Structure formats: structure tokens, C-alpha cells
Amino acid sequence: MSKKKPLKRTAASKKTTGHRPTHNDFRQGGVISIFLGSFESEEELDEYLSETFPIDFGFEINPKDAPEAHVSSDLMFIEDLLQGFSMSEEFATTVARALAKAGWHSSEAAVVFYNFSYNPKAYNLYNAWGELTFMGTYLLKEKIWTPFL
């Protein structure tokens, strides 16, 4: 029996122009981008966001405009997990319903970027290794869910 080689984590691909997107490239007022995943602690998530997230999602987080994040010690229904985030009354129920239709009912961690429209297709970004999953972008005012999956 042959041993499998461990797969190497590589940076997300760049757009054919060679431009690697920055946090500001995804800035857009009135929308949020949501990522879900599983972490054991807030510290583990913080470390991931600063060290590995840029590799997985193709941009570094601007610390002056960092996302909100929450980690639970147990699986939680997505709507419950999103409660407590700023402006959660504007998106928690609608997002939870949309994700339930896609088969996502619970998670242990959520990351919410405000005024941010992450669009991996615009830069040919992919995330085959991430500990977070990009769930989509939500327009706050119009209550429309726009997944980029």
C-alpha cells in the first residue's frame, strides 16, 4: 500500500491580470458577507483569520475594518449563532432561512464582514482548503440573499 503525500496549501489564485485583491476591493455599502465554520475557541479563529484566511480567500483582512466573529462551544442553529451580531435583526432570520434551503442548519462559528461584498468569481479565487466556508453576500436594506456558491 502506498502512502499518500500530504497536500500542500497554496494561495488562492489571482485574476488573470495578476492583481491580487485587497480588502478594499470588496467594500460595498449596505451589504454583508458571511462565512461559517468550526473552531474550538475565539483564539483559534483569530489566529486563522490573521494567518490562514488570506491564503484561503485571497485577501488580507484590514484590521481597521475587521469582521465580527463568534465561536460557540457547541453546534448552534444558524439563526441563533447570528443573534448578537451588530444589526443581526436585519439579517439573521432571512440568512438562516436561505441557508436552510441550501442544507445548512447549524454551525459552530460565524464571521460577518459589514459593507463588504466578497465575490470570489471576480478574481478567480477558490477555497478548496478553508476552515471557513463563504456562504454568500446579503443586501441589508432589500433583504435579498445573493449566494456566490
Domain membership of residue 12 (yes or no) is no
- Give the per-residue pLDDT at 139: 80
Cβ atoms within 10 A of the Cβ of 5, count?
Answer: 6
pTM of the model: 0.81
Domain membership of residue 119 (yes or no) is yes
d(CA 121, CA 119) in angstroms, rounded, equals 6
Domain membership of residue 135 (yes or no) is yes
DSSP assignment letter at 75: E
Q: How confident is the model at residue 96 (pLDDT cuts 50, 70, 90)?
A: very high
Domain membership of residue 14 (yes or no) is no
Q: What total number of domains does the chain contain?
A: 1
Lowest model confidence (mean pLDDT) among 8-17, 74-83, 118-127, 132-141:
8-17
41, 131 Cβ separation under 8 angstroms: no
User: Containing domain of residue 138, as a range?
Assistant: 23-146
Kind of pairing between the strands at 132-139 and 144-146: antiparallel
Residues in the chain: 149
111-130 mean pLDDT = 81
pLDDT more than 70, % of the chain = 79
